């Protein structure tokens, strides 16, 4: 189903969310990898805020929030038979889409953790407090995740759900600020959970590099991979 266009930026965690969900759906949109400092007019025309991800359909429908994209494609265009999750895991994924725990965890990530993450990552822009202080504020959410992961392999249950896929790109950012500290921090469950998700085939294909849409404006689809003896071979380089 190639009736959509995805505007994306590889390193943006919000765009990662959208690409993860699209790889778990039947949709195979055209990909427009953009430069944030040189946003194409086509993007601004359909989404005035000019942020990614944006998913545009040929019928004129535009979805410009990452979580809305995730829920829409997993609900309206599910692909229970896919390479990345078993049928049972996919059923669990769909079951947890609208649960209160899912909402609560994602809201805490987006509205509490993310602002502290930004200040921790760019502490020189926020000299009111030290980088350590900002990290300690962000750690409160890491502690919450650690408690969740003491109960299950993933945040809600024993297979990944929307909460995991929506949150881990931001924890990845957090880990990359001070990798040596993160590797030795007292949150072993979070560390193992993040490592599992980062090393998964799903995230590997999510982070494929696409040709920049500007200035060549190349036509390329999200799922540019082929099956060979049951294996998915990405036609891209990470």
76-85, 124-133, 221-230: the lowest-pLDDT one: 221-230
Contact partners, residue 154, CB within 8 Å, separation at least 6: 160, 161, 163, 164, 193
- In 3D, which of 139, 117, 134, 118 has the Cα closest to residue 187? 139
Q: Which CATH architecture has domain 89-199?
A: Up-down Bundle (1.20)
Banded model confidence at residue 237, pLDDT cuts 50, 70, 90:
very low
> Each residue of 146-167: pLDDT tens digit?
999 999 999 999 999 999 999 9
Mean pLDDT of the chain: 92
Is the pLDDT score of 232 beyond 50? Answer: no
Q: Which of 58, 59, 60 is closest to 47 using CA atoms?
A: 60
Task: Provide the terminal-to-terminal Cα distance of the chain, rounded to the nearest Å.
Answer: 25
What is the reported pLDDT for 220?
76
State residue 218's pLDDT score: 66
Dihedral sign computed on CA atoms, order 18, 23, 26, 28: positive
DSSP tag of 40: -
Instruction: Give pLDDT, residue 81.
Output: 92
3-class DSSP state for residue 131? helix
pLDDT in tens, 50-82: 899 999 999 999 999 999 999 999 999 999 999
Instruction: Tell me how many degrees the CA angle 133-139-142 measures, rounded to the nearest 5.
Output: 170
Q: What are phi and psi of 4, to 5 degrees?
A: -145, 160
Closest to 24 in 3D by CA, of 152, 197, 203, 221: 203
Dist CA 231 CA 238 (whole Å)? 17
The token duo for 73 is 């494609």
Query: Are β-strands 4-8 and 30-33 bridged in parallel, bridged antiparallel, or unpaired?
Result: parallel
- CATH (one of 3.30.43.10, 3.40.30.10, 1.10.1200.10, 2.60.40.10) for 4-84+206-234: 3.40.30.10
Answer yes or no: is pLDDT of 186 > 80: yes
Higher pLDDT, residue 204 or 233: 204
Nearest to 17 by CA among 60, 72, 56, 61: 72
DSSP 3-state of 148: helix
Contact 202, 24 (CB under 8 A): yes
pLDDT at 222: 82
Structure tokens at 74: 């997993």
Q: Where are the domains of the chain?
A: 4-84+206-234, 89-199
- Between 105 and 219, the higher pLDDT residue: 105
For 163-192, give the DSSP string.
Answer: HHHHHHHHHHHHHHHSHHHHHHSS-HHHHH
């Amino acid at each position: 189903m190639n009736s959509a266009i995805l505007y994306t930026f590889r390193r943006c965690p919000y765009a990662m969310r959208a690409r993860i969900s699209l790889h778990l759906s039947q949709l195979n949109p055209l990909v427009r990898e953009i430069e944030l400092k040189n946003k194409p007019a086509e993007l601004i025309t359909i989404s005035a805020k000019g942020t990614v991800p944006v998913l545009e359909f040929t019928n004129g429908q535009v979805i410009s929030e990452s979580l809305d994209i995730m829920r829409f494609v997993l609900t309206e265009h599910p692909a229970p038979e896919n390479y990345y999750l078993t049928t049972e895991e996919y059923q669990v994924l769909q079951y947890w889409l609208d649960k209160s725990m899912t909402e609560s965890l994602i809201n805490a990530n987006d509205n509490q953790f993310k602002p502290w993450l930004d200040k921790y990552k760019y502490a020189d822009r926020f000299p009111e407090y030290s980088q350590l202080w900002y990290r300690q504020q962000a750690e409160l959410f890491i502690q919450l995740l650690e408690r969740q992961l003491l109960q299950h392999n993933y945040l809600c249950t024993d297979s990944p759900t929307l909460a995991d896929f929506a949150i881990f790109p931001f924890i990845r950012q957090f880990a990359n600020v001070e990798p040596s500290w993160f590797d030795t921090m007292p949150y072993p469950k979070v560390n193992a959970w993040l490592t599992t998700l980062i090393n998964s085939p799903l995230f590997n294909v999510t982070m494929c590099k696409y040709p920049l849409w500007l200035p060549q404006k190349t036509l390329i689809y999200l799922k540019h991979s082929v099956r060979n003896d049951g294996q998915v071979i990405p036609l891209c380089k990470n």
